[in-house]
Structure 1
Amino acid sequence: MTNQFVNAVYYPSWKIYKGLAPSELQFQLITHIFYAFARINTDGTLRLLDEKADTQLTVDGEQGCFTTLAKLKRQNPHIKTLLSVAGGSGSASFPAVAASFQVRESFARTARELEHPETPAEGENFVHLLRATQAALPSPTHQLSTALPMGQYYLKNINLFEAAQELDLLNLMGYDFAGPWTEISGHQAQLFTPYGDGSPSLKKSCSNGVKYVLSRGFPANKLVLGIPAGEVDYESLPPEWVEKAQVDYALGVVYYINLQGKGFVSFDVPGTGLAGLFNWTGAGDTKGESSLVASGYKALSR
């Protein structure tokens, strides 16, 4: 594969308990695999989130998902594999890690993914941490990326131009705009911002986030847009929901109203679709014509 675009997927370790091994990923269509997650200690060292899944279970004839991914990478040398550290629910210790030179150096020996700064001081430390990690794991032998939310309340704290000097990719999470934490129902991953008045929680959009990042000097060829497969995996959606989904082209969203179940459901289909895309998660995708990973690959290959 000689394509310069990014068509990436996350593989969460807990998918192995649902019978979805790394070998289920569509290797011929993807460029990067982000393995989720490792956790970070306050001294900067890493620990496994699930040692059983990571190193002990028999997976695809190997011992643990780590060994399996290494084998699959040897069989598919075009794919880059990265370890994703912390995740949204495990990043509380990152500000303290980034604030200490010694702890940053400890982290930099093993880390790949970094934190969400909440203040300008944390944003400055974030860039220091990127710099230390890049020095310990230099390109092109290694790749350094970070996953960040769309909200300017996080992004404004980071000097994105300086961060770009150290990063190979910025994975911009174009999802989780609405959910149980918002006051009203809304699209979880709308491409464009709706017009008119409305709840502030519904004003987020992928286009606004991308424009903001680019306006701060971050290069488009390092920016990757995230596609969700959230509360319900895409492959678990009833076929009726996908077939009868309503498409709002003005917002770039798809939804289905199910009065007997979840009510309003927002998701992506191949008809909605920088440097490329990433999918949370690759293991939640379907195969065939309805595959989001395949749809992204086809669009990026044009």
Structure 2
Amino acid sequence: MKFVTKLSVFFALLTLTSGCATQRSMDSATNVPSSADSKESTLPASESSTDSETLATKNEQTQEKSSVKDAPLLKQKVGVLITAKNFPTHTHIGTTKFNNFTKEYSYNWQLSDKLFSTFKSTIEQNSRFEAVDISSIVKAPDSLDFVKGKDGNWTFNTNQEALRKALIDNGIATIIVVTEAPTVAMTECGTYGCLDHKSKGFGLFTRSFMGTDHYIASASFDINIESLNEPVEISALPVFKEFQDDELKNARIEDFTPPDNFDEVSEQELLPIKNTIVSYFERLATTLAAYLSRQ
């Protein structure tokens, strides 16, 4: 009985000793830092600071690139000035001078607005350019004669130097000036030579002779296009030659329906005339836009 009691006490002491050893082992494991934690805690302060500075520099560079990318494109401005009355003209040349007449119809074609919008929409198809109305800056189209030709060379007109520089200061590099003016609508030649018949303004030109009538859509305008940075009269270049030819400014309409009242053509009857004039300027605007895009 005593032996059993002693044996029980021995096993109890052995169990208690093992439990304490296990607890000490667990406590030791808890207090030992991991390898990663140990390395992180031993990083020098200078390395941590350098990493922060590098990250800040990268952020600044990213912001700078973003600012450059988002910066608006500086467009080249094309100044446009159109001077024309609101109403179309009918110039008629009859068999004798007593049959001749020139009259203005009270149909408001708003041609100046139409031509400006034509130039603007066509030129601005290239995002490098912007067409602007300069009528608020320049009142007289004659003052926009900046380039002079002499002996095959172009030079700037010194009399217009102040205005040229003022336009350049407004970002304008090219100007287009469209001015209503008489043009030769038809030339007739006979035994005693040739005779020019002039259209007095944009609109309808008619010629009647011995029962034969001719109907002509008259884009009766002077066209001047110039560069302000270099002395170049753009409208005098070969590519624009057709637009300076009076014969092409005055297009004969072969299928024009004779009006019910020859002396009072209706607005509807004049519509083909208006469309033909606008078409002339659409071709001019397209040619100019292509020229500018190549520069």
How high is the TM-score relative to the length of structure 2?
A: 0.27
**Larger fraction in helix:** 2
Larger radius of gyration, structure 1 or 2?
2
How high is the TM-score relative to the length of structure 1?
A: 0.27
**Larger fraction in strand:** 2
